[in-house]
Structure 1
Amino acid sequence: MAEFFLNFARFIMKIALASALSGLLVTVSAPAIAAASETQASPFTLSGSARIRYESISDLFRAGANGSDQMLSSRVRIKGEYDAGRVIFGGEFLDARAWLTDSGSVIPAGSVNAAELLQAYVRVPLEGGELQAGRFVMNVGSGRLATEQGFRNTPNNFEGVRGRFTPAENWTLEAFFTAPVRIRPNDRNAIENNTAQIDEAEWGTHFWGVHATRTGLAGNLRAEAYLFGLNEENGADLLTPGFRISSPRAAGTYDFEIEMMAQFGDQPSAGGTLDVRAWSANAALGYSFDAPWRPRLSGQLVYASGDSNPSDGEWNRFNPLFGARRGDYGTTGLSFAHFRENLIAFGPRLDLRDGPTAITLQVQESYLASDTDRWRVANLRDTTGQSGSRIGTLAEARMTYWIRPDRLQLETGAMVLFRGDFAKNAPGAPAGDNPVYGYVMLSAPF
Structure 2
Amino acid sequence: MKLFALVLPGLLLSVSAPAIAAQSDDAAASPFTLSGSARIRYEFINPLFRAGSSGSDQMLSTRVRIKGEYDAGRFVLGGEFLDARAWLTDSGSVIANGSVNAAELLQAYVRVPFEGGEFQAGRFVMNVGSGRLATEQGFRNTPNNFEGVRGLFTPAENWSVEAFFTAPVRIAPGDRNALENNTAQLDEAEWGTHFWGVHATRTGFAGDLKAEAYLFGLNEENGADLLTPGLRISSPRAAGRYDFEVELMGQFGEQPQGAATLDVRAWSAFASLGYSFDAPWRPRLSGQLVYASGDDNPADADWNRFNPLFGARRGDFGTTGLSFTHFRENLIAFGPRLDMREGPAAISLQVQESYLASDTDRWRVANLRDATGQSGDRIGTLAEARVSYWLRPDRLQLETGASVLFRGDFARNAPGAAADDNPVYGYVMLTAPF
TM-score, normalising length: structure 2: 0.94
Identity, in percent, stands at 85
Corresponding residue number in structure 1 for 2:71? 83
1:197 equivalent to 2:185? Answer yes
Question: 1:47, 1:295 → 2: CA distance?
Answer: 32
After the TM superposition, which segments of 4 or more aligned residues of structure 1 sit over 3 Å from their partners? none
Which deviations, in whole Å up to 9, do the C-alpha atoms of 1:375-427 show, x marking residues without a partner? 00000000000000000000000000000000000000000000000000111
| Partner of residue 264 from structure 2, selected from 251, 266, 276 | 276
- Equivalence for 2:218: 230
Q: Secondary structure at the match of 2:179?
A: helix
Residue 293 (structure 2) pairs with residue 305 (structure 1): yes
Instruction: Provide the rounded CA distance (Å) in 2 between the counterparts of 1:311 and 1:177.
Output: 35
Q: 1:295 aligns with which of 283, 287, 312?
A: 283
Question: Where does 1:13-412 land on structure 2 (aligned, <5 Å)?
Answer: 41-412=29-400
For residue 39 of structure 1, report the CA deviation from its aligned partner.
8.2
Residues 428 and 40 of structure 1, relative CA distance in 2, 3 Å threshold: closer
* Amino acid paired to 1:51: R
User: Which residue is equivalent to 2:420?
Assistant: 432
Task: Point out where structure 2 has 5 or more consecutive residues left out of the alignment.
Answer: 1-19
Counterpart-to-counterpart distance in 2, 1:416 and 1:428: 21
AA paired with 1:306? Answer: G
CA displacement at 1:40 relative to structure 2:
7.1
1:363-385 CA distances to partner (integer Å, 9 max, x unpaired)? 00000000000000000000000
CA change 1:350–1:311 in 2 (3 A) is same
Residue 243 of structure 1, CA deviation: 0.4
Residues 175-203 of structure 1: CA deviation (Å, up to 9, x unaligned): 00000000000000000000000000000
What do the CA deviations read for 1:60-109 (whole angstroms, capped 9, x no partner)?
00012110000000000000000011110000000000000000001133
Question: In structure 1, what is the Cα distance between the partners aligned to 2:131 and 2:52?
Answer: 32
Which residue in 1 is equivalent to 2:6?
none
With over 3 angstroms needed to count, the CA separation of the structure-2 counterparts of 1:43 and 1:270, relative to structure 1, is: same
AA paired with 2:331? Answer: L
Task: For residue 97 of structure 2, give the secondary structure of its aligned residue in structure 1.
Answer: coil
Between the aligned partners of 1:270 and 1:166, the Cα distance in structure 2 is 45
**2:97–2:179 Cα contact (<8 Å) kept:** no
| SS of 2:411 mapped into structure 1 | helix
For the 8 Å contact 2:62–2:86, the answer to whether it is kept is yes
Name the residue aligned to 1:420. Answer: 408
TM-score, normalised on structure 1? Answer: 0.91
For residues 74 and 340 of structure 2, the distance between their equivalents in structure 1, rounded to whole angstroms, comes to: 44
Q: Give 2:415's aligned amino acid.
A: P
SS at match of 1:110: helix
- CA displacement, residues 333-362 of structure 1 (integer Å, 9 cap, x when unaligned): 000001100000000000011000000000
Unmatched segments (≥5 aa) in structure 1: 1-30
Q: Kindly provide the CA deviation profile for residues 222-279 of structure 1, in whole angstroms up to 9, marking residues without a partner as x.
A: 0000000000000000000000000000000000000000000000011410000000
Distance 1:206 1:197 in 2: 23
Distance 2:130 2:360 in 1: 30
SS in 2 for 1:77: strand
**130 and 66 in structure 1: CA distance in 2 versus 1, 3 angstrom threshold:** same
Structure 2 residue identity aligned to 1:188: R
Amino acid corresponding to residue 262 of structure 2 in structure 1 = L
**Residues in 2 aligned to 1:353 and 1:109: alpha-carbon distance in whole angstroms:** 33
